[in-house]
Amino acid sequence: MALTIGNFDGVHRGHQAMLTRLLEAADDLRLPAAVLTFDPHPREFFQRDAAPPRVMRLRQKLEIFRAFGIAHTFVARFDARLAALTPQAFIADVLVARLQVRWVLVGDDFRFGKGRAGDLAVLRAHASSFSVEGMRTVSVADERASSSGVRAALAAGNLEGAAALLGRPYTLSGRVAHGDKRGRRLGFPTANIALRQRPALSGIFAVRVHGLGQSPRTGVASLGVRPTVKENAKPLLEVFIFDFDETIYGRYVTVEFLHKLRDEEKYGDLAALTHQIRADVAQAREFFATAR
């Protein structure tokens, strides 16, 4: 098979260039195109809570691979056993014995094996049964397309910059779950999506919601820890969908972040919070009324 290897967090434009090259080579060589990725991210394994937030969930990543036309995706569990493999053992045990690769594509900054000792040169030196190609860095407006660049843009609330690196607006997906119904009591019922990992951004946003019909719905979303209503809460995505009143618990939706309205804040009481929510809704509606 023809294989590319990486974490592909966000599947940004650099990753997309790699997938395109993979498909070209697979077609030329008449081999199935495959991706090898890792879960959890190696930095999550080594750094635990200090690891940077993920740009996207694993399911979203797999959905993009399928949409690209990738025939096979292999998700390797990154654990102590895998982390202990030398570069030579990774090549022999994983690439040759298990995956039986014939052609491999990696980024020019690719590192693998115990202590990140392996690189493109090591891979080529030990590739006796397959060929290796290195992918050059992809730049967008003179900025290197990278997962860290996307994270930095999201953390700064620069959704336009993140979208430029991703090649699409930033999204989060998940199933709508039951919440504490506080939003409904305040007059703004929300679709709640629990987050397993710390998100790469926070605040209040104008959003589109996909998965609730043929056309996306507009709304306003809060992404954060809700400091006014709860202490030490886990991050939660709450979306108030405009002009919508249907029961959607259990539905799988995708929330597209288009414009940041403000940072998350703590208010003195629920009355002050409700007043701010009304202002957020009005501002988001104005954004959609004037957006082109």
pLDDT of residue 227: 60
Q: Evaluate whether residue 214 is within a structural domain.
A: yes
Same domain, 87 and 197: no
Instruction: Look at residue 208 and tell me whether its pLDDT is greater than 90.
Output: yes
pLDDT of residue 157: 94
Tell me the Ramachandran region of residue 35: left when phi exceeds 0, alpha when psi lies from -120 to 50, beta otherwise: beta
Which residues does 258 contact at the CB level (< 8 Å), separation at least 6?
159, 169, 205, 206, 207, 208, 287, 291
Instruction: Look at residue 268 and tell me whether its pLDDT is greater than 90.
Output: no
Q: Evaluate whether residue 228 is within a structural domain.
A: yes
Contact between residue 205 and residue 267 where contact means Cβ atoms under 8 Å apart: no
- At residue 186 the predicted structure's pLDDT band, cuts being 50, 70 and 90, is low
Same domain, 130 and 187: no
Name the domain boundary from 105, 128, 144: 144
Same domain, 216 and 94: no
Same domain, 59 and 134: yes
Same domain, 53 and 98: yes
φ/ψ of 154, rounded to 5, equals -65, -45
Number of domains in the chain: 2
The pLDDT tens digits for 226-243 are 766 666 668 889 999 999
Same domain, 9 and 116: yes
- At residue 120 the predicted structure's pLDDT band, cuts being 50, 70 and 90, is very high
pLDDT of residue 47: 86
Instruction: Look at residue 128 and tell me whether its pLDDT is greater than 80.
Output: yes
Same domain, 208 and 117: no
Question: Which residues constitute the domain of residue 7?
Answer: 2-144
Same domain, 117 and 248: no
Q: Evaluate whether residue 149 is within a structural domain.
A: no
Q: Evaluate whether residue 165 is within a structural domain.
A: no
Same domain, 15 and 130: yes
Q: Evaluate whether residue 163 is within a structural domain.
A: no
Same domain, 140 and 214: no
Contact between residue 1 and residue 101 where contact means Cβ atoms under 8 Å apart: yes
DSSP annotation of 91: I
Question: For residue 239, what is the domain's CATH number?
Answer: 2.40.30.30
Higher pLDDT, 41 or 88: 88
Question: For residue 111, what is the domain's CATH number?
Answer: 3.40.50.620
Same domain, 214 and 281: yes
Q: Evaluate whether residue 64 is within a structural domain.
A: yes
- At residue 151 the predicted structure's pLDDT band, cuts being 50, 70 and 90, is very high
CA distance 82 to 97: 15
Same domain, 128 and 176: no
pLDDT of residue 194: 87
Q: Evaluate whether residue 153 is within a structural domain.
A: no
Q: What is the pTM of this model?
A: 0.90
